[in-house]
Amino acid sequence: MVKVPGFVRRLFGDSQQALKEQQTGDARVAQLKREFAEHPSRGLTPARLHEILEAAEQGDLKAQSELFEDMEERDTQIGADIAKRRQLAAELEWQIVPPDNASRQEKRAADQAAEAFAGLEVEDLIIDLGAGIGHGWVNLEQSWSLDGSLRFVEQPELRPHSWFRLHPDDQNLITLRDNSAQGADLWPLGWVQHRHRAKPGYVARSGLHRQLAWPYLFKHFSVSDLAELLEIYGLPARVGKYPSNAKPSEKATLLRAVTSLGHNAAGIIPEGMSIEFMTAAGAAGGADMFKLMLDWCERSIAKSILGGTLTSGTGEGTNTNALGNVHERGQASLIRADARQYAGTIKRCMLWPMAAMNFGIDDIRRAPQFYLETEEAKDYAALSQSLPTFVDMGMRIPAWWVHEKTGIPEATEKDEVLQPAATQPMPVEPMALSAARQASIAALRSGTSPSAQPPAQMQEQARAAAEPAQNEWINQIRTLASEVDSLEELRDRLLKVYPNMSLDRYAEALSEAGVAAHLAGMNEIKEEQA
């Protein structure tokens, strides 16, 4: 048996037991595996919801946790949006790297951690950690395996939130429910304890589902009322009329006849009685009020979970591509925040313990780093076009910065590298040059001194060549501005017109100016060398 170093016990407490077995296998908490959910969402009322939320603040998390699970199962909007947010983070590329200025031992720890995680379902791990978004926290029980003298973490298992409670003396301390009043303390190396700060507050109030509980309740009432309306929607009211001297048995017969008409469209009544069909006024618009409430609830849910409505399919009215991009950026910001919190938990609860036990790393700052790649895809074409311009302007751009921005690794001495394709210089003479280019070349060939083409004169020529294209854009914008009533409308019109605003004439003018300046510079150098 491999002995646990003393400093590990100092860092993580007496962890021998967690390395051998899972805490939930203990007889004192074994009854948790035989519990069944009580589904507090059944018959939920505002008063009952208040009781559940208040009990959670006082330490009893069971009813609140089960209610949150029911909300994700029964409400398709909540379930879909939460699943989308969890899945978006799970799809990110992950990597494990050593800390900055890592020692040889720290690099070995990072390599061993990467090897261990290669055998895990990291995507499932991220999805399980995402359960903390709604609840504010989640606990995964982890096991350990031994390979020679090295200890490796195994795939953590998600445990139901209802298995836990809050310590009566500490609202931020989660314990495992047992037969005691305060619960059993969680074994330090036996759990991946993730606290997700979807909103600030104590553990019981930090979950996003606390915000969604009331919209969920209102939506549930509206759906029930709408279902009841749809059950009788379009059916005329059936009213039976009986004589004033009718007997109770005759009244009962008439009631059965009226009731049976709703299902069988047939019935019998005594002579002297009648049945009338009546249509309620305004029945056609009854469903709209329920739909209005449902739409409000779903938009509130989407904004709470994804930061907007257009990425959830609950947008309304004048949706534009620009507004959709704003909502998408808000969603991406939430995913980056989630990824940062997942990475911190994985480093603290999985990577650091492995590095401490196997390589003696007792400082969490020197433990291997876990990253989820959250940067958007690079626009290599734009970067490749702009970099030569900046270099020609005299900017000193380090190669490592380009490698970092593009994500392209730097080749080592053993790697085979790509080489630029051989290009032949294009002859200038046969090219069809514009009048401005030909004038510049003629001036150079005639031996005109540099003073004949001063920079100020060249700038004026370039400005005059580009002015028609600029005026064309300005006139289009002025026309649009005179036709709209608000800045928002002008913005939307500009977005529609922009693809048709050609840059060809402006680009041609800039190209001609660049060629003229280049040739003038070459001529000046030749004259200085002569």
Backbone φ, ψ for residue 289 (5° rounding)? -65, -40
- Regarding beta strands 170-176 and 164-167, do their DSSP bridges make them parallel or antiparallel, or are they unpaired? antiparallel
Evaluate whether 131 touches 158 at the Cβ level (below 8 Å): yes
Query: Quick one: residue 200, left, alpha or beta (phi over 0 = left, psi -120 to 50 = alpha)?
Result: beta
What whole-number distance in Å separates Cα of residue 495 and Cα of residue 323?
12
Q: In whole angstroms, how far apart are CA 135 and each of 207, 384, 497?
A: 4, 46, 47
Q: Please give, one letter per residue, the 3-state secondary structure of 320-387.
A: CHHHHHHHHHHHHHHHHHHHHHHHHHHHHHHHHHHHHHHHCCCCHHHCCEEEECCCCCCCHHHHHHHH
| CB burial string 351-388: b at 16+ within 10 A, e below | bbbbbbbbbebeeeebbbbbbbebeeeeeeeeeeeeee
In this structure, what DSSP letter does residue 188 have? Answer: G
How many CA atoms, within 13 angstroms, populate the side-chain half-sphere of residue 417? 9
Evaluate whether 198 touches 208 at the Cβ level (below 8 Å): yes
Give me the count of residues in the chain.
530
What whole-number distance in Å separates Cα of residue 255 and Cα of residue 498?
70
User: What contacts 487, CB < 8 A, 6 or more positions away?
Assistant: none
In this structure, what DSSP letter does residue 33 have? Answer: G
Q: Residues in the chain with pLDDT < 70?
A: 1-7, 14-15, 223-237, 261-272, 274-287, 290, 309-327, 376-379, 421-462, 501-506, 509, 530
| pLDDT for residue 153 | 94
86 closest CA partner among 36, 9, 138: 138
| pLDDT for residue 474 | 78
Span between the terminal Cα atoms of the chain, in Å: 86
Q: In whole angstroms, how far apart are CA 215 and each of 82, 148, 434?
A: 15, 54, 67
Residue 198, classed as helix, strand or coil, is coil
| CB burial string 466-478: b at 16+ within 10 A, e below | beebeeeeeeeee
Token pair of 165, please? Answer: 């409670």
| pLDDT for residue 430 | 45
What whole-number distance in Å separates Cα of residue 331 and Cα of residue 318?
20
Beta strand residue intervals within 74-169, DSSP E: 94-97, 137-141, 144-147, 150-153, 157-158, 164-167
Q: For residue 414, give the amino acid letter.
A: K
How many CA atoms, within 13 angstroms, populate the side-chain half-sphere of residue 347? 24
Q: For residue 446, give the amino acid letter.
A: S
What whole-number distance in Å separates Cα of residue 49 and Cα of residue 43?
10
Q: In whole angstroms, how far apart are CA 143 and each of 27, 61, 95, 417?
A: 18, 25, 22, 44
Identify the sign of the CA torsion 305, 307, 311, 313.
Answer: positive
